[in-house]
Each structure stands twice: as structure tokens, then as C-alpha cells.
Chains A and B, each alone.
Chain A
Amino acid sequence: MDTLRVENIRKTFNLSRKQRKIEATDEKRKIAVDAVSFEAVPGEIFGLLGPNGAGKTTALRCIATLIRPDEGDVFVGPDSVLKTPNLVRKNIAFLTNELKLEDHFTPNYLFSYFSRLHKVPEATMLKRREALFSRFGIDKFQEVKVADLSTGMKQKISIAISLVHDPHYIIFDEPTNGLDVLTAKTVTDYLIELKEAGKVVILSTHILSVVEKLCDRVAIIIDGRLTALDTLQNVRSLAEDHDLETVFFDMVRESEALRHA
């Protein structure tokens, strides 16, 4: 039961006039996620791969209860994002660049603040903070205001803070964006540890190498629809040369051809 099940979700946005101009379309509505279903299980890293604007972030926001799917539902363990969003929130870590930290506070303050919101006992909080901060090298600037930190440092703090309650479900949207190779490796190593600890890890990316290195199973999403959903091995074998890049390019090209038809 402790899997994460996405059941046929669909999400449509109303486009304002300005957005219609940007997207160069007359359509008043944009289907960002269309009939997407998949299941992520404990002990695996599930990758959501797609080009810019494919609907990755939108799908993850539905899972994380920030927005509600128009159709379908997501079950995080036994809990539905539509019916009991607050139970879902207790068990997930969500990282996406839309979630910002308050400039005025220090990493230390923010960590204890969010721990208290998650009702984490003080002693546990201190232990976890110590572990996560030293792991991500935050301890060096734990008393510096977020305003004075670099993008990468903020990203590391966001990761640590999303994990204050040691959740079972980890949903990371482009976690290595803006990180240097060293820091990116710290993060990916940590994700592997989480997976080995039996957590459900979902991550989205448009970077093929991240998928190749990390993911056990992968879904490719293009224009809101899943075009592949299988183990990394099987998805690779869709191309003759067993190269993920070839698979990805073929699918993107195919969908573009469809769109212009």
C-alpha cells in the first residue's frame, strides 16, 4: 500500500490573454497534463522525463496537493490528494523552484520552523538538522540569512527543509538544477540512499544523463501525455541503438509532426 499511484490525471489551465500571446495560440485553455497514470513503488527512483513545457512540474504539483487535477486522482499510500490532501502533505517531500524560502531567515531558523509545522519532536529535529546540514554542507552558512546566499546554496537548503519530517515519498522537480557538479553529485547520491532506505522517489528532469544514472523506471512525457512508461532498460530498447537519447528525440519529433499535421 505504500506506493504512489497516479490515476489518469488531467489538468487544464485557463490561459489569460497575455499567456495566449506567449504560447502563440488562440485556445483559451491549455491541457498541461492529459490522462497520465503511473505507479512508483518503494525502493525505486521513478523518473519523469520530458522537454520544457511538457507538463512535468504540473503533474508533480498535482501529486503534491498544490493544485487539484480536473480529472483522476493521486493516491499517496492510502491517501487521496482530492479527498485528504492534509494526510498526503504529512508524508511527502516536495521540491520545485516555485517553492521559495523567506529571505529574512537563516537556514537554522527555517529548519526548526518547518519541523514544528510538521510536529517533529525537538530532539529528532536537532539530530536531523545536524545530519542533513553536514551532508549538504549547509552547516557553514547555517546562521546566514537566505537573502545573502547563492542560488545553489538556497537549493540545498530547500532540499534539506523538504526532508524535515523524514517523509516516505520524495517528489523532486529538477533537483540538480543550478547546482555545480560536486553538489549535484551530493544530491544524487543522497537520492540513491533514500531509495535504498526503501522510500518512494519520483524525480523529474529534462536531462537524459540524470535519468540514465539514477532512474530504475522512467516515464516520458511530451505535450502532457505519457509516450513511454517502463524500466530504463526497456525504454532504451525502443531504439535500435539502445540509446535513450535516440528514443527521446524520436518521440519529440513524432509529436511535433503530429502537432503540425
Chain B
Amino acid sequence: MHSFWQIFKKEMVRVLTDRRLVLMVFIVPGLSIYILYSLMGMMIANQLEGVQEHRIVLYEANMPDAFRSRLLARDEANDRQRLNLDIRALEDIDEDTMTAQLLSGDIDVVMIFDPLFMDAINDADNHAIPEVFIHYNYGRQQSSFGYNQVTQVLMAFREDILIDRLESPEQYLVFMTQTAPVVDERQLTGQGIAVLMPMLIIIFLFAGAMSIGPDAIAGEKERGTIATLLVTPIKRSEIAIGKVTSLAALALISALSSFIGILLSLPRLMQLEEGNTNLGIYGVSEYGAILLVLASTVLFITGLVAVVSAYAKTVKEASMLIMPFYFITLLVGLVSSFGQDPIQMPIVHIIPLYGPVNLLSGIFIFEWSMINLLIVIVSSLLYTALFIWALARMFNSEKVMFQR
């Protein structure tokens, strides 16, 4: 068993001393994810801010002073209540121009009150119910936002008029409500993490394995360096073990790079999400379990990638043949992040890829069992052993190694 270690070391040296590979495998994934997610976070934040900062252009006709003063009060507020308003008289703008300007964004909201609006309210018995026409453009965020805000003020205005008309406010209120929410902060945070993390983990691991596997095996076949290895007395199984373990270690480092990218960009990305994403909520047992799942899953993945790469004649062919498996992995990740609660049934955990992802989701929300962890580890290791056995046979087969 000493030769497998030689292969392992050689593979590590091969990648770690090649500046181009180090860049490709370890730096680029993390960096690109960091940049992408930070940009995304910044853009979403900017957009939200833009909507809130925007000065709502409101055109009115016959707006009663009582209502106007309510709007102006919101305009002068200092806190989050503040509404940035620019109220103008509609006057001689005709209907077509108004619609055109709503569509172009020059006008956000138009409110047209009945000419005798306040008279009708003050003397309801002798007037028909007065109307307010509101025009807005729901294809523009600023317009929708302005519409929502002014209607809120309008509803409050109506409520107050109603309460005035009734003899006592209780008649209007009908009943009172009180809410007393409880929350387990850990669970709340965990739910958020469980949506994204298991999917990212599995995808990063696969992407890591995919970026080095084809070159390390199909590449050696293509370049003829595997033949040099095959005339030495090293056991084919040791070549297989050396290849799979070294690829697994490298894939793990590569995935780690992606995670660092995620963690660094998380604050930017998550400012909009509720609850904080503090990974400190997990204890030693969760992290231990996650690590064990990662280690066994990355072995499975690299085993798979290695077998496919050994079958392929060229690096290009290997990369192509791996694609379907990558899509399956993406699918498994998506299903887990948009599915319901993780399944606790033990048998589910023997399913390759799905089992580990399902277990990870459970771990992130503190709902997992030792037995399922054990099943994931043992089954992944069994599959890996199967892959290594197949790989050893392939190294022994002149058809697979030398057929042109």
C-alpha cells in the first residue's frame, strides 16, 4: 500500500506546482463566485434603494386639502415612513399625454378627485358617493411603488372619515388582535442556509472534480504517460486508489475555494434576506457530520469522474461524457433546495448524490440522525470501492487503455 501514496503525492505535486492549474482550480472558482455574487448583491441593493430614493411624481386634480396635508406629512417624515413626493396639478394635460407620460415614466401616479369630493363626504345624505380615479403604470417599479404608497395613505384617510361618522370607534374596530410569535433563531437561520448550501456543496464538489479528473486520467491516456506507469509493477488497484484519493483532495480544495467566495460575498448578497446567516449557529457535531458527508461524497464523485475519464480516449471526450452526470447533479441539487423538508427515511440515504444532499439539508436545520449519516458514509464508500474496482480493471484492460 505504499505505492498508492506515491501516486497521490505525484498528482498533488502535478497540480499544486503548476501555476496555471492552481489558478484554474483554486483561485478562479472562488474569485468568480465572489465577484458574481457581490455584484448581484450590489445590484439588487441598488435597485431597491433606487425605488425608495425615487421622487414620486404625482399629478392631481381637485385633491382635497385634508388629504394633501396627509401626503405632505409623509413627505416631511424622517424615518422609513418618509415618502419622497412631488405633487403637481394636472391642469391642462389631456388624457393621451397623461397616458404617454405614465408609460414613459415622467409621471408615476395620477389622482383625479371628484370636483365636489369634500362636499360629498361632509354631506353624504345629499350627494352620491364621491370617486377618486387613480392612474398608474404597473409595468414600472417606481409607479407601482408610488401607487401602493398613495393608496395606503388614501385608505387611512377613508378609515378616519369612517370612524368620525360612527358614534364610537369600537363600532368600527369590531375586534382587536394580538400576536405573540415565538421563534427558534437557530432553526430560522438554518432554514435559510438549508435552501442554498446543500445544492452549492454538491455542485462545487462536482465542478471541482470535473475540472481536474479528465486531465489526470484521460489526459494521461491521451499523452501516453499512463503506459509508462503501467509497465511498472505497481498494482492497478493502487493506481486507482491513488488517482481517486488525490482527485478527491483536490476537488475538496477547489470546492473550498468556492465556499470562501460564497462566504465573503454572503453579507452583500444577504442584506435583503430576512434573518442573519450566521454559520456560528452550528455546533461541533453538525460540522463533524457535514465534514464526513463531504469527504465520503467527494470520494463518490471523483470515483465516478475517474471511471468516465478512464473510459474516454481524450480529455475532450471525457469532459463531454461527464456532462450528463453534471446535469443530474444540478438536478439533484435543485430538487433538494426547492423540495419540502428533508426525508428522514433511512433507505433514501443510499441513493447516490441525493442521499448526501438530503442529509445535508437535514443537518442544516438540526433534523438529522446518526443512522442516516452512517448510511450515507457507508454507501458512498461502497460505491467508491466499486468505482475503484472498475477503475483497476480498466487500467488492466488493453482495450480501454490502448484502443485507438
Residues on the B chain within 8 Å of A105, using CB: 13-14
Residues on the A chain within 8 Å of B228, using CB: 99-101, 114, 161
A98 at the B interface (CB under 8 A): yes
Cβ-closest chain B residue relative to A64: B231
B157 at the A interface (CB under 8 A): no
Stretch at the interface among A88-96, A178-186, A220-228, A239-247: A88-96
Known: A66-B398, A113-B6. A102 touches B231 (CB 8 A): no
Most buried by B among A66, A68, A86, A116: A116
Residues on the A chain within 8 Å of B14, using CB: 102, 104-105
Chain B 345-377 interface residues, beta-carbon cutoff 8 Å to A: none
Cβ-closest chain A residue relative to B232: A117
- Shortest CB–CB separation between residue B106 and chain A, in angstroms? 64
- Shortest CB–CB separation between residue A131 and chain B, in angstroms? 20
Residues on the A chain within 8 Å of B17, using CB: 104
A150 at the B interface (CB under 8 A): no
A90→B233 contact, CB < 8 A: yes
Chain A 158-180 interface residues, beta-carbon cutoff 8 Å to B: 161
Number of interface residues of A (CB under 8 A): 29
Interface string of A1-22 (1 = CB under 8 A from B): 0000000000000001001000
- Shortest CB–CB separation between residue B382 and chain A, in angstroms? 26
Known: A67-B402, A102-B14, A113-B6. A89 touches B232 (CB 8 A): yes
B234 at the A interface (CB under 8 A): yes
- Shortest CB–CB separation between residue A101 and chain B, in angstroms? 7
Known: A100-B225, A104-B17. A66 touches B235 (CB 8 A): no
A29 at the B interface (CB under 8 A): no
Interface string of B218-249 (1 = CB under 8 A from A): 00100111011111111100000000000000
A113→B231 contact, CB < 8 A: no
A108 at the B interface (CB under 8 A): no
Chain B 1-38 interface residues, beta-carbon cutoff 8 Å to A: 2-3, 6, 10, 13-14, 17-18
Residues on the A chain within 8 Å of B235, using CB: 86
A204 at the B interface (CB under 8 A): no
B404 at the A interface (CB under 8 A): yes
B233→A89 contact, CB < 8 A: yes
B234→A117 contact, CB < 8 A: yes
A65 at the B interface (CB under 8 A): yes
Residues on the A chain within 8 Å of B229, using CB: 117
Cβ-closest chain A residue relative to B239: A117
Known: A102-B225, A104-B14. A94 touches B231 (CB 8 A): yes
Residues on the B chain within 8 Å of A101, using CB: 225, 228
Residues on the B chain within 8 Å of A87, using CB: 233
Residues on the A chain within 8 Å of B18, using CB: 104
- Shortest CB–CB separation between residue A27 and chain B, in angstroms? 17
Q: Provide 27 A-B residue pairs closer than 8 Å at the C-beta atoms, listed in order of the A residue.
A: A64-B231, A66-B398, A67-B398, A86-B233, A86-B235, A87-B233, A89-B231, A89-B233, A90-B233, A98-B227, A99-B227, A99-B228, A99-B231, A100-B223, A100-B225, A101-B228, A103-B223, A104-B18, A105-B13, A105-B14, A109-B13, A113-B6, A117-B233, A117-B234, A118-B232, A119-B2, A161-B228
List of 4 A-B pairs having minimum Cβ-Cβ separation, nearest first: A100-B224, A89-B233, A99-B228, A67-B398
Taking A104-B17, A118-B233, A119-B3 as known contacts, 16 extra A-B pairs with beta carbons closer than 8 A to each other, sorted by chain A number, are A19-B404, A64-B231, A65-B231, A66-B230, A67-B402, A68-B398, A86-B233, A94-B231, A100-B228, A101-B225, A104-B18, A109-B13, A113-B6, A114-B228, A117-B234, A161-B228
